[in-house]
């Protein structure tokens, strides 16, 4: 191990600090006290006045290291943005598949380099648009997908071998993956050339986002099946996007976000390894998704720490040998929960800072939120401005010319070390509780998140946590700025339901019946893979809701014991 400074240098620094405290600092503080008695990061970790080499003297140089080399603190690749900029991937989706397809063509024309799809609540939860639970929700928060025909329309005129497609979908992810495969096969694409991602991170649903269908263990089996299917058939596709974003949005601290995400990641690794797949066969295709929150430097450190933790877990604990298995790649989204309804234009500034953290932290793809986030899903104008924000950072600011420019900052390195240590501490707690699933069942993550969220709400109320325009620099009510907001087309639900009914009439009902029977048989056999029978079912014209309910007959349904 090589430390970053010599013992001699370290003693010299310590002596200088001591002298500075006595000569400059003490008298200055007497005349002008600091604004606060203590300063804290977004995770409520203490922040010192100034950092020196003494704060990182204990750390091995190897933990900083070089980009594209273990433990990947500085980035997963040796050239980073000098080679290729991150993928600018604005999530979009509303109304019918045709509505969203038009938005995709618009975004591609504006210079967006990857697609990301937001689905409506019924699709996310695995219901058909005509089920009574879905009234008022069809096509509202995202695009409605019921059958393969919708998926065909969604990608009309888009070359799936050229554009990577990310789908934010969880309990019903395996069905959308099946539809995606079916679209690709119908168009004659080579599955091994398709790049993209399904979120498919079911564990964080029980912890944070709360979209589920089946009990935890059955759900984890479905995730296993998708990972195993992709490992064998889709060489460039990410079958899971292990997500901290929703954990953060549900109210966790940044440290908890990484810690709980890693707890989930370990559970997936263990599940797939237990199915007999070699770690190096699938770990390279696992991808991550983090938020970029408000504390600028802590966020950068968080991304660096996450990469280091992952590299150490995958190699140390699971024995991976391939560098690709150890390289954490992540999508990033700026923090929706930091955006305010009051003074909405301030949100552009917040989002710019958060996006810069993501870039300095080495993100592989990025979504920047619209300024109207606290109102509705984004208007076309808001989306374009958010995309331009990324383009300015990428092509005007110069920050992409160098890799990990904050590497070696005493502060950021110390923060990175602190976050890493805290993550291990949480992982130990989870281990002692019996692992990730046991901890979910005991409500551990849910309680930790709710506690931090409540404290944050209280701090915001007291003004201790400043939010410009909310608890400081507040406008009088008559000064409020109006902005253009996306409107939902009230006819969407009707159109979507009619289309679904037409599709049901026109298909071969016996063929659908047969495919659903085979699907149920596969579900009942824990060692079988659900993907081939699901692909057959969507090709036969079975709808998402029909598939979900058929499998529900075998797996049952999850109900949460809520933690307040």
Partner 1 sequence: MTMASQPVRILLAKVGLDGHDRGVKIVARALRDAGMEVVYTGLHRRPEEVVTAAVHEDVDVLGVSILSGAHMTVFPRIIDLLKAQGVFGEILLVGGGVIPDEDVVTLKSMGVADILGQETTPGDVVETVRRLVAQRSPAA
Interface contacts to partner 1, rule CB under 8 A: 121-122, 124-125, 127, 133-137, 140-141, 205, 209-211, 249-251, 337, 340-342, 374-376, 450, 453-454, 457-458, 460-461, 470, 485, 488, 559-564
Structure tokens at 12: 């010299």
C-alpha closest to that of 469 among 357, 389, 382, 374: 374
**56 or 449: CB nearest partner 1:** 449
User: Does residue 88 contact residue 113 with C-beta atoms inside 8 Å?
Assistant: yes
DSSP letters, 537-561, are: HHHHT--HHHHHHHHHHHH------
**How far is the C-alpha of 201 from the C-alpha of 171, rounded, in Å?**
8
73 Ramachandran zone, left/alpha/beta (phi>0; psi -120 to 50) = alpha
Q: Closest separation between CB of residue 460 and partner 1, Å?
A: 7
Least distance from partner 1 to the Cβ atom of residue 461, Å: 4
CB of 162 to partner 1, least distance (A): 33
- 261 or 390: CB nearest partner 1: 261
CB of 181 to partner 1, least distance (A): 26
Helix and strand element counts for the chain (H, E): 23, 10
Q: Which is nearer to partner 1, 169 or 415 (CB)?
A: 169
Residue with smaller CB distance to partner 1, 132 or 159: 132
Q: For 26-139, where are the alpha helices, taking DSSP H only?
A: 26-31, 61-64, 97-109, 121-125
Cβ–Cβ under 8 Å, residues 284 and 310: no
d(CA 54, CA 168): 44
Nearer to partner 1, 508 or 560 (CB): 560
Q: Which is nearer to partner 1, 337 or 394 (CB)?
A: 337
Query: Is the dihedral angle over the CA atoms 416, 418, 424, 427 positive or is it negative?
Result: negative
Q: Which is nearer to partner 1, 283 or 492 (CB)?
A: 492
Are the C-beta atoms of residues 330 and 363 closer than 8 Å to each other?
Answer: yes
Two structure tokens written together for 518: 């085979």
What is the three-state SS of 169-190? CCCCHHHHHHHHHHHHHHCCCC
- Least Å distance, CB 221 to partner 1, is 22
**CB of 125 vs partner 1, minimal distance in Å:** 5
CB of residue 206 vs partner 1: minimum separation in angstroms?
11
Neighbours of 181 (CB within 10 A): 24
> What percent of the residues of the chain are helix, what percent strand, and what percent coil, each to the nearest 5?
55, 10, 35
Closest contact distance (angstroms) between CB of 192 and partner 1 is 35
Which residues sit opposite 334 in a β-bridge? 292
Tokens of 326: 């150890």
d(CA 492, CA 139): 6
**162 versus 559: smaller Cβ distance to partner 1:** 559
> Closest separation between CB of residue 559 and partner 1, Å?
8
Beta carbon nearer to partner 1, 281 or 455: 455
Nearer to partner 1, 63 or 373 (CB): 373
Smallest distance, partner 1 to C-beta of residue 95, A: 13
DSSP string, 370-424: -TTTTTSSPPHHHHHHHHHHHHHHHHTS-GGGSSSTTTT-HHHHHHHHHHHHHHH
Complex with partner 1: residue 167 or 250, whichever CB lies closer: 250
Q: Are 370 and 475 in contact (CB under 8 A)?
A: no
CB 293 within 8 A of CB 42: yes
Q: Which is nearer to partner 1, 460 or 539 (CB)?
A: 460
In whole angstroms, the minimum distance from the beta carbon of 458 to partner 1 comes to 6
List of residues 6+ apart from 525 with CB closer than 8 A: none
Question: In sequence order, which ranges of 206-278 are alpha helices (DSSP H)?
Answer: 216-233, 245-249, 254-274
Which tokens hold the place of 390? 């990324």
Minimum CB distance to partner 1 smaller for 210 or for 236: 210
CB of 560 to partner 1, least distance (A): 6
Q: Which two tokens stand for residue 260?
A: 């709980």
CB of 376 to partner 1, least distance (A): 7
Considering only CA atoms, which of 92, 61, 76, 8 is closest in space to residue 386? Answer: 92
């Amino acid at each position: 191990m090589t430390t970053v400074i010599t013992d001699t240098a370290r003693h010299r620094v310590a002596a200088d600090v001591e002298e500075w405290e006595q000569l400059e600092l003490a008298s200055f503080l007497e005349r002008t006290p600091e604004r606060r008695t203590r300063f804290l990061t977004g995770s409520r970790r203490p922040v010192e006045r100034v950092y020196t080499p003494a704060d990182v003297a204990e750390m091995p140089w190897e933990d900083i290291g070089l980009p594209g080399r273990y433990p990947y603190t500085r980035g997963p690749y040796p050239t980073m943005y000098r080679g290729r900029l991150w993928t600018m991937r604005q999530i979009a989706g509303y109304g019918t598949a045709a509505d969203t397809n038009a938005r995709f063509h618009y975004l591609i024309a504006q210079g967006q380099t990857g697609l990301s799809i937001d689905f409506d609540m019924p699709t996310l939860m695995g219901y058909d648009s005509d089920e009574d639970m879905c009234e008022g929700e069809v096509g509202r928060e995202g695009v409605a997908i019921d059958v393969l025909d919708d998926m065909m329309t969604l990608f009309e005129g888009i070359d799936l071998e050229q554009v990577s497609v990310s789908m934010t979908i969880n309990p019903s992810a395996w069905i959308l993956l099946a539809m995606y495969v079916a679209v690709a096969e119908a168009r004659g694409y080579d599955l091994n050339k398709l790049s993209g991602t399904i979120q498919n991170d079911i564990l964080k649903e029980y912890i944070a986002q709360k979209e589920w269908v089946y009990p935890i263990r059955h759900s984890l089996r479905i995730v296993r099946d998708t990972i195993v299917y992709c490992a064998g058939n889709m060489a460039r596709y990410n079958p899971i996007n292990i997500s901290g974003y929703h954990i953060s949005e549900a109210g966790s601290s940044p440290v908890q976000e990484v810690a709980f995400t890693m707890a989930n990641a370990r559970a997936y690794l263990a599940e797939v390894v237990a199915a007999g797949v070699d770690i190096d066969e699938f770990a390279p295709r696992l991808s991550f998704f983090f938020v970029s929150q408000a504390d600028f430097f802590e966020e950068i450190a968080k991304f660096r720490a996450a990469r280091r933790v992952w590299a150490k877990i995958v190699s140390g604990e699971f024995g991976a040998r391939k560098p690709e298995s150890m390289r954490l790649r992540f999508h990033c989204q700026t923090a929706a929960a930091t955006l305010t309804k009051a003074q909405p234009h301030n949100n552009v500034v917040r989002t710019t800072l958060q996006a810069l953290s993501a870039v300095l932290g080495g993100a592989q793809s990025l979504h920047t939120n619209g300024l109207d986030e606290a109102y509705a899903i984004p208007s076309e104008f808001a989306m374009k401005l958010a995309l331009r924000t990324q383009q300015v950072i990428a092509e005007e600011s110069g920050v992409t010319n160098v890799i990990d420019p904050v590497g070696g900052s005493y502060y950021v390195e110390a923060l990175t070390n602190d976050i890493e240590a805290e993550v291990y501490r949480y992982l130990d707690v989870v281990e002692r509780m019996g692992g990730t699933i046991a901890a979910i069942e005991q409500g551990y993550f849910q309680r930790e998140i709710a506690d931090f969220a409540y404290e944050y709400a209280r701090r915001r109320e007291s003004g201790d946590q400043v939010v410009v325009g909310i608890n400081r620099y507040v406008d009088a009510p008559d000064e409020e700025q109006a902005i253009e907001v996306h409107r939902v087309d009230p006819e969407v639900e009707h159109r979507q339901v009619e289309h679904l009914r037409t599709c049901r009439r026109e298909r071969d009902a016996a063929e659908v019946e047969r495919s659903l029977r085979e699907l149920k048989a596969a579900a009942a056999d824990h060692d079988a893979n659900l993907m081939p029978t699901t692909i057959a079912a969507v090709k036969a014209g079975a709808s998402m809701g029909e598939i979900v309910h058929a499998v529900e007959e075998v797996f049952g349904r999850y109900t949460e014991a809520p933690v307040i």
